[in-house]
Amino acid sequence: MSNPKQVTIVEVAAAAGVSIATVSNVLNRGGIRSSKETIRKVELAAEQLGYRRNTNAAGLSRNKTFEIGLIVPVLGGYYGQLAEQLQLEAHRAGYHLSVFSSGGFDPAIERRNLEVLLQRRVDGLICHGLAMGFESTRSIVNSGTPLVLINGWGWPEDIALGAVNLGFSEACRQSTKLLADRGCDLLVYVGNKHSKVIDGQRRQGFETGIAQLSSPIPHQFVDTKDLDMERFLQELMMGPAKRVGIMAFDDYVALRLLSMANKLKIDMPDRLQLIGINNDSVSSHAYPSISTWDIPYYLQANTAISKLLHKFGHNVATCEEREFEVPLTFIERETTKI
C-alpha cells in the first residue's frame, strides 16, 4: 500500500491565495508578524489539505523550538487575562506559548515547571515576578534562555533582560490626590502583604501621594489578613472623619469592603469613598459600582513579547527602558462620584 502524497507549502499557498514565503512564515513560525486574516486563511487551507508540519525537524534545523514559556502564580483573574493576551501576541509573531502556573507558590510545582522548561528548550521565557524566586529563575537563564519579567521590580540584571511592569505606584499616588480633592479627611490603604512586591508598589504610591498633598491628611495602613471588615468599617465611621477615602489592593478587596458597607448602611460616596485596581468585572457589576484602574493587557503583552523578539534577532520595535512602566487608566464609577 503506497503512502499518501505529502501536501507541500506550495499547495497550501495556492489554496490560501498568498505567497509561499507567507505560508512558510506562518506555518514554520518565522517570527514575521502577519495579520489575523492571513494567519486564519493559511491555517484553514493547511487544515483542509491535511498539511502536517514536522516541528521537531524544523526546530532542530534552526536550533529553535519556536516556543515561549510563561509562568504565572495562578491562572485566574488578571493572570488568566494576561496569559490570553500573551498567547495571542506570541501567535501573531509565529510562536507557541506554553503556560505554567506555580500553583500559588508551591515549591514542588515550581521544580516541575523548571524541569519541563529545560527539557523543552523554550526559546524564551516570560515570568511573573511573584511566580518564582531569584535562584529558581536563574537556573533557567543560565541554560541560555532569555527572560522577560512581568511585574518584576528590581530583579538582578544577570537574571532578566528586562521587565514590563504595571504602574501600580502611580495609580495609587493619583488615587490619594483624587480622594483628597473629593473632600476625604481620612485616607486608608487596605493592602495584601501576601502579594509582597505587588503590594509594596501600591503602598509606595499611596505613601508618595500622601506626602505630596498640599495639606496633611490623617492616613492608615491595614492588611486584609485577619481583618474584621465589619469592625474595621464601624470604627472608621465612629471616628472624627466626615468622609473616609479607601484605596483597596484590588477590586475583590474593594468588593468585600463595599459589601460590608452596604450591610452597615454606610452612605457612599458621601461618608465613604472607595477605589480598587484591575477593573475586574465585579467592579462594574457591584452596587454601587466601584471606581477602579483599568489594565491595558494588550500593551503589557505586546511590550513583553516584543522584548523577547528583539532578543531573538527579529526586526521589531521595542522600548529601550530595561524596566518599562505600563500606565493604568482611571475608571470613575459611583463609589467616588459626588
- Which contiguous run of DSSP H or E holds residue 42? helix 36-49
Q: Are 1 and 43 in contact (CB under 8 A)?
A: no
For the chain, state the CA radius of gyration: 24
User: Mind listing the pLDDT tens digit for each residue in 148-202?
Assistant: 999 999 888 888 889 999 999 999 999 999 999 999 999 999 999 988 899 999 9
Domains of the chain, CATH where assigned? 9-60 (1.10.260), 65-160 (3.40.50.2300), 168-295 (3.40.50.2300)
User: Mind listing the pLDDT tens digit for each residue in 292-315?
Assistant: 999 999 999 999 999 999 998 888
Question: In terms of pLDDT, which residue wins out, 122 or 258?
Answer: 258
Q: Are 45 and 15 in contact (CB under 8 A)?
A: yes
Percent of the chain with pLDDT over 70: 90
What is the SS3 assignment for 60?
Answer: helix
CA distance readout (Å), 92 to 72, 88, 205, 238: 21, 6, 35, 56
Residue 319's pLDDT is what? 83
Residue 53's pLDDT is what? 58
Residue in 317, 315, 310, 319 with CA at minimum distance from that of residue 32: 315
Sign of CA dihedral 20, 24, 30, 34: positive
Q: Are 291 and 335 in contact (CB under 8 A)?
A: yes
User: Mind listing the pLDDT tens digit for each residue in 50-90?
Assistant: 876 554 444 444 467 889 999 998 888 899 999 999 999 99
Residue in 319, 311, 295, 308 with CA at minimum distance from that of residue 84: 295
